[in-house]
């Protein structure tokens, strides 16, 4: 299937760029460490501060990852070859979205134990709930981010444009992620914020639907 080929291609490009992966991991971990020091040493609300920190770090890491994926694709020329092959644009989009999701999931799995240790939050009992929240958040981030990254292709200020487009578009997603993570880490009753699961699911579906409608036009415009 085309989307699996695209996903495998993008993941191989990421793996070959070991310097970028190391930089991304170090940047994300450093951000968590800096914010834990800024909030500490005695945390007023550790669960809230930890939830805000991990999702702030994911947002900035995601912008870097999405931008780098465009650069790697341009350097290799693989993206142009796939587009010229006449493959379904939405299949190309799904493949790239899955690759970006895998990258962001790896960063999240790196940051989760660091945040738990630095802020002294989280338990194994809360882990399934937090991972579920992460899945919803990262699917939406990857769906919207891949679409906006295609829109920013070829522009000089790609990072700035991505941030400008992503931040206001994904505010409901980030609010839901922070509130639910905060609740699972013991800061509030989960039942009080469970409606945010629906909001996040709607954002995920909306991002995929918008890409199904616009991705081909955005791809053609970027060319």
Q: Give the predicted TM-score (pTM) of the model.
A: 0.89
Confidence of residue 154 (pLDDT cuts 50, 70, 90): low
Q: How far is CA 161 from the centre of its chain?
A: 16
Closest alpha carbon to 177 in 134, 140, 129, 119: 134
Backbone angles phi, psi at 185, to 5 degrees: -85, 15
Cα angle 45-46-50, degrees, rounded to a multiple of 5: 125
39: number of Cβ within 10 Å: 19
Q: Is the pLDDT of residue 18 over 90?
A: no
**What does the alpha-carbon distance between residue 69 and residue 59 come to, in Å, rounded to a whole number?**
15
Q: Is the pLDDT of residue 47 over 60?
A: yes
Q: 83 or 39: which carries more pLDDT confidence? A: 39
Q: Is the pLDDT of residue 78 over 60?
A: no
**What does the alpha-carbon distance between residue 40 and residue 205 come to, in Å, rounded to a whole number?**
38
**What does the alpha-carbon distance between residue 12 and residue 9 come to, in Å, rounded to a whole number?**
5
**What does the alpha-carbon distance between residue 51 and residue 62 come to, in Å, rounded to a whole number?**
16
Delimit the domains of the chain by residue range. Answer: 2-222
**What does the alpha-carbon distance between residue 150 and residue 46 come to, in Å, rounded to a whole number?**
37
Residues with Cβ within 8 Å of residue 186, at least 6 apart in sequence: 47, 121, 123, 126
Residue in the block written with tokens 């639910």: 180
Averaging pLDDT over each range in 2-6, 56-60, 149-153, which range is the top one?
Answer: 56-60
What's the DSSP call for residue 187? S
The whole-number pLDDT of residue 74 equals 63
- Mean pLDDT, to the nearest integer, of 117-125? 85
Q: Is the pLDDT of residue 41 over 80?
A: no
- The H or E element that residue 133 is part of is helix 127-151
Confidence of residue 105 (pLDDT cuts 50, 70, 90): very high
Lowest mean pLDDT among 80-94, 105-119, 185-199: 80-94
The whole-number pLDDT of residue 120 equals 85
132: number of Cβ within 10 Å: 13
Q: 165 or 156: which carries more pLDDT confidence? A: 165
């Amino acid at each position: 299937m085309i989307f699996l080929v695209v996903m495998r291609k993008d993941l191989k490009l990421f793996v070959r760029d070991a310097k970028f992966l190391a930089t991304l991991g170090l940047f994300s971990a450093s951000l968590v460490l800096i914010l834990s020091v800024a909030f500490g040493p005695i945390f007023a609300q550790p669960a809230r501060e930890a939830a805000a920190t991990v999702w702030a770090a994911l947002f900035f890491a995601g912008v870097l990852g999405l931008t780098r994926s465009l650069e790697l694709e341009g350097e290799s020329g693989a993206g142009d070859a796939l587009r010229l092959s006449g493959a379904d644009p939405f299949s190309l989009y799904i493949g790239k979205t899955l690759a970006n999701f895998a990258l962001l999931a790896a960063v999240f799995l790196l940051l989760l134990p660091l945040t738990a240790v630095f802020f002294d939050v989280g338990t194994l009992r809360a882990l399934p709930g937090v991972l579920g929240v992460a899945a919803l958040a990262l699917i939406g981030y990857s769906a919207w981010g891949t679409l906006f990254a295609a829109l920013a292709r070829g522009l000089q200020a790609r990072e700035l444009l991505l941030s400008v487009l992503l931040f206001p578009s994904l505010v409901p997603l980030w609010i839901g992620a922070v509130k639910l993570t905060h609740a699972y880490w013991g800061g509030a009753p989960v039942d009080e914020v469970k409606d945010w699961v629906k909001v996040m699911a709607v954002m995920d579906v909306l991002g995929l639907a918008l890409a199904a409608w616009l991705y081909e036009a955005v791809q053609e415009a970027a060319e």
